[in-house]
Structure 1
């Protein structure tokens, strides 16, 4: 019965979305107040219906209702409860329902928190959100119904892909979708503004919180996905330029550019046309990621293998959304005249450079991701674009961008003084010089690129601290005065400092772990000891282990430092019965200084066991930096000035070197 109720709820949600997508839009155009006022109520109603449908499918998974095809194909009675719940979004239909749920919740959030928006703009934004929902609700109902029945029901389900039976996958997809779908609000604001023909600082102030929230969620989602791949897949790496990884990275790059571009619109009333275009492109890249994952054109551990019918549906929907919004942009953009004028060397100029480099980086990743698919579709030839292309193209773009990140906040609006800005950054420059001198003394010519990465990481981290110190007049005023200024500093300013500091830690983690990682692959027998970097691994043997829904062979390694055993690591090979599959479970001992990483391969007691052993210095700084970046974003989001509908507090301004 729950399946039928969930299906009916989705049908009703589609009807409500059609009403919400049409009547308020027409009402805003013709000034029909009852139709305008309908939008918030419809948004709440749609969210409740989709949430009810989601709850029905969740109930089916929890109770192992194998009469529902989605449950029978993705669950079984032996699966732990955590994975029964999270298994709902470990498949195409369930994850699509999660996408629609988040989309409807964002619409309800705009209806709830957008009380100070102009009524017509709010109605148009909610209508655009609803029309996006119409497309996805039609998609799930006509091609991917999660409530299909199978009669008679099987006695046991097929079970979830063992690779997805991991706590990291419990959180990775929801955060990723919160980011993907969150950019739909910025898209809706952009299209609504184009319809009204008005983009101004007030519009930028309304759209920034939604963009910032989506960016924070997407940052966490990508970091969790990287962390999951690192410890679950047993490859020993944290990023592989997989096409599905790129599908989430591209909207992150465009969204980062959008976030900074909106600042210029809010502060200086310029870059309006470009900011609207970025809002459209960011969500378009999110939809492109949906197409890549669900169309069946990619073979990836992250992708959903689906039939071509679904891919064609998404492709048509993608064409309508992207083509329609770009056509509207082409028609309306000439009217979006910039008001503010600025010199190339200014805060605005630094943000323009930021935007250009992020946009080019996103385009480069897009080209490398789509080129093999295009060649395959046109000629049938199989072409691979690997990490070498992405690293060669992406890294040179990031170097000037990261260098400018520190200088930009030190420049004044409209016209800046580069000499004065660099003078304020003397501590950061001194730290970079020290790193370069020490590096040149200790390192050989093969690590010059690593030396550049270290210098950039230090430049970012110390530069962020310098910018904060300048704001609070650290060492230039009494401690009491500096403390007072720090307390009065807007949370948005704190957030920017924290986020930029996190970028510095991220760069340091990437540089050190990629350059000085030690890897050893060999066949060993019990009693053998292998030196890996500054530690040694002593292999003591393999023993059978039984889990809740798997059996495993578990190896045992003793980690020896200075002649003493300091840790014991137990990598394993698991064998799942339902579905039948073998997985490799790496053993990881994390620490701020370095991760110890052990993988057990094939073998037996006579021939020995194939193993991969790593020493990974500072690799955990990668995820720490990403987490700090997201925390900086949420800290900025907590600023009253950045909340939709929240008026700015009237407090005495705290003078600072940069806004």
Structure 2
């Protein structure tokens, strides 16, 4: 009965979405307030039905209802409760239902919090948002129904993929999906603006908080996935340029460009057409990522679906959503009024250069991800594109961007004196040179490019701090005055400083662990010791463990340096009872300067065990920097200026114009 209720809820949600995608558009065209208001009501109804459907599927997982095909194939009665719940989205059908739930939440949020929006714009935004929902609800019902019954249910299920039975993977997909789907709101605003033929500062002010929300969660989701891969897969790496990693990274790059471009629209009424295009492309990349992962084109732990019918359906949705939006853009964009003129050396120019570099970097990742698929589809055989390609294409594009990040905020609007701006960064430059010399001394002279990379990260961090100090007039005014200015800094100012500073810290961690990582593989018997990067690891032996749904072998290592005890590491090698799939649970001891990382493998014939030991310099800086970036997004969202919409004067002016139109229509 619960499954049938969930099926009914999905169908009702589809009907509500269809009505929401049509009637508000008609109301906006006719200036009919009742039809326009229907969009808000329908979005709430749609959300309630989707919540009901998601709740029904979750309940089926919790009680292990193996009469559902979806539950039988992705759960087991002995699985811990956390992984029963996370199993809801640990498969194709459930993950698509989660996608639709988040989409409905964003649509209802626009309806609930968009009271400052012009009613015609709000109606069109909600209609476009509902059109996306129609596509995915149709896809769910006809190709990916999570409530399909099983005639002969098994006593127990097939269990969830053991790699997904981890706390990191329990929360990683929802965060990632909030980022993916959150960009749909910016997309809907862009399409609505093209229909109305109007983009102004108020429009940009309304778009920014939704874009910032998506960017914040996508940043957290990518970081969490990277952290999971680092400690769970046992390879000691944090990023491999895997296609599934790339499809989440591409909308992040384009979304970052969109955030900066929207600032120019809001402050200077420039780059309007470009910002609209970025909003379309950012969400389009989210949809393309869905197609790549869900269609089965990739063989990966993340690729849940291997079904040509689903792939063709998603490809059809992509053609309508992306092709239709780009066609509308080509038709309507020329009618948008051009914005203000600015000098190339200005804050507008700096943000435009930021956008161009981010877009170019995204294009290189896009090419590297899809080129092998195109070649295989055209009969060219399998082509492998790995880290060397991205190191030679992506990194050179990002270097100038990172060097310029701390310069841009110091540039005034419209026209700037570049020499004068660089003069304000002279102390940051001197400190950067000292940092490079210190890195050269500590690392004993190499590698040179890595040392220069650390200098670049230091420049970014010190330049960001210099810009913050300049805002509060630190050392240029009495400390009491600087304190007052600091306290009064808006949330968005703090957010920018933290985001740029967090990026600098993360980059330093990426460079350090890539350049100075040390790895050693050996066969050890209990009591034997291996020395890696000046640290001793004594193998004390193994013991067998029994988990709730797996058997494990746990090794014990005593870590010491110069004869002094540091830590005990206990890595595991697990074998899950149902799927008979082994997994690695690395043991990690983290410090400020790096990680001590141990992995235990298989036993060999002479009684020894294969072990892998890694020394990971500054690797935790990556996730600390990403955490600062997430905090930066949350602080910026707390800024009242991003929550009130357009300034009061502009809102009143817009309401007067709208009222005059309604009177004329009457």
Shift of 1:562: 2.3
SS at match of 1:422: helix
Does the CA contact (< 8 Å) of 2:523 and 2:611 recur in 1?
A: yes
Does the CA contact (< 8 Å) of 1:5 and 1:56 recur in 2?
A: yes
- Cα offsets for 1:312-347 (capped at 9, x unmatched): 100110010000000000001111232211100000
> Is it true that 1:489 corresponds to 2:475 in the alignment?
no
Match for residue 361 of structure 1?
361
Deviates more, 1:125-134 or 1:472-481: 472-481
Match for residue 206 of structure 1?
206
Match for residue 141 of structure 2?
141
CA distance in 2, matches of 1:9, 1:580: 37
Match for residue 600 of structure 2?
600
Does the CA contact (< 8 Å) of 1:491 and 1:636 recur in 2?
A: yes
SS at match of 2:151: coil
Q: Aligned-pair RMSD on alpha carbons?
A: 1.4
CA distance in 2, matches of 1:114, 1:647: 14
SS at match of 1:270: coil
Distance 1:198-1:411 versus aligned 2 partners, 3 A rule: same
Match for residue 99 of structure 2?
99
CA distance in 2, matches of 1:599, 1:455: 33
> Is it true that 1:232 corresponds to 2:224 in the alignment?
no
Does the CA contact (< 8 Å) of 1:641 and 1:648 recur in 2?
A: no
CA distance in 2, matches of 1:445, 1:530: 26
Does the CA contact (< 8 Å) of 1:590 and 1:620 recur in 2?
A: yes
Shift of 1:591: 2.1
Please list, as runs of the form range in 1=range in 2, the aligned pairs for 1:94-173 lying within 5 A after superposition: 94-173=94-173
SS at match of 1:379: coil
Match for residue 502 of structure 1?
502
> Is it true that 1:33 corresponds to 2:33 in the alignment?
yes
Shift of 1:301: 2.2
Please list, as runs of the form range in 1=range in 2, the aligned pairs for 1:553-592 lying within 5 A after superposition: 553-592=553-592
Does the CA contact (< 8 Å) of 2:535 and 2:561 recur in 1?
A: yes
Does the CA contact (< 8 Å) of 2:573 and 2:585 recur in 1?
A: yes
CA distance in 2, matches of 1:317, 1:374: 19
- Cα offsets for 1:199-254 (capped at 9, x unmatched): 11110001011001100000000000000000111111000000000000000000
Match for residue 84 of structure 1?
84
Match for residue 664 of structure 2?
none
TM-score normalised by L of structure 2: 0.96
Match for residue 434 of structure 1?
434
Match for residue 624 of structure 2?
624
Distance 1:440-1:544 versus aligned 2 partners, 3 A rule: closer
CA distance in 2, matches of 1:282, 1:182: 10
CA distance in 1, matches of 2:43, 2:441: 63
CA distance in 1, matches of 2:57, 2:442: 59
Does the CA contact (< 8 Å) of 1:113 and 1:645 recur in 2?
A: no
Shift of 1:90: 0.5
Match for residue 257 of structure 2?
257
Shift of 1:425: 1.2
Tell me the matched-pair count: 650
Match for residue 215 of structure 2?
215
Match for residue 656 of structure 1?
none
Does the CA contact (< 8 Å) of 1:216 and 1:633 recur in 2?
A: yes
Please list, as runs of the form range in 1=range in 2, the aligned pairs for 1:222-301 lying within 5 A after superposition: 222-301=222-301
> Is it true that 1:304 corresponds to 2:274 in the alignment?
no
Shift of 1:178: 0.3
Match for residue 464 of structure 1?
464
Does the CA contact (< 8 Å) of 2:271 and 2:339 recur in 1?
A: no
Deviates more, 1:99-108 or 1:606-615: 606-615
Deviates more, 1:330-339 or 1:631-640: 330-339
Deviates more, 1:220-229 or 1:526-535: 526-535
- Cα offsets for 1:598-617 (capped at 9, x unmatched): 11111247241111101111
Match for residue 10 of structure 1?
10
- Cα offsets for 1:602-637 (capped at 9, x unmatched): 124724111110111110000110110111111111
Does the CA contact (< 8 Å) of 1:640 and 1:648 recur in 2?
A: no
SS at match of 2:591: coil
Does the CA contact (< 8 Å) of 2:205 and 2:646 recur in 1?
A: no
SS at match of 2:241: coil
CA distance in 2, matches of 1:407, 1:248: 28
Does the CA contact (< 8 Å) of 1:201 and 1:265 recur in 2?
A: yes
Does the CA contact (< 8 Å) of 2:509 and 2:619 recur in 1?
A: yes
- Cα offsets for 1:156-205 (capped at 9, x unmatched): 11110100000001110000000000000000000000000001111000
Match for residue 657 of structure 1?
none
SS at match of 1:580: coil
CA distance in 2, matches of 1:500, 1:16: 42
Deviates more, 1:34-43 or 1:428-437: 428-437
CA distance in 2, matches of 1:186, 1:215: 11
CA distance in 2, matches of 1:316, 1:124: 23
Shift of 1:37: 1.0
Shift of 1:589: 1.3
SS at match of 2:554: strand
CA distance in 2, matches of 1:582, 1:65: 26
SS at match of 1:287: helix
CA distance in 2, matches of 1:568, 1:382: 44
> Is it true that 1:55 corresponds to 2:55 in the alignment?
yes
Match for residue 474 of structure 1?
474
Does the CA contact (< 8 Å) of 2:67 and 2:149 recur in 1?
A: yes
Shift of 1:427: 2.2
Shift of 1:442: 5.2
TM-score normalised by L of structure 1: 0.97
Match for residue 654 of structure 1?
none
SS at match of 1:413: coil
Match for residue 187 of structure 2?
187
Does the CA contact (< 8 Å) of 1:640 and 1:646 recur in 2?
A: no
Shift of 1:420: 1.5
- Cα offsets for 1:260-279 (capped at 9, x unmatched): 00000000001000000000
Does the CA contact (< 8 Å) of 1:209 and 1:644 recur in 2?
A: no
Distance 1:606-1:443 versus aligned 2 partners, 3 A rule: closer
CA distance in 1, matches of 2:229, 2:625: 17
Distance 1:264-1:645 versus aligned 2 partners, 3 A rule: closer
Match for residue 317 of structure 1?
317
CA distance in 2, matches of 1:527, 1:445: 36
Match for residue 634 of structure 1?
634
CA distance in 2, matches of 1:588, 1:146: 38
Match for residue 609 of structure 1?
609
CA distance in 1, matches of 2:339, 2:315: 38
Shift of 1:439: 3.8
CA distance in 2, matches of 1:324, 1:625: 38
Shift of 1:443: 4.7
CA distance in 1, matches of 2:605, 2:81: 36
CA distance in 1, matches of 2:629, 2:639: 16
Q: Which ranges in structure 2 are unaligned for 5 or more consecutive residues?
A: 650-666
CA distance in 1, matches of 2:228, 2:6: 31
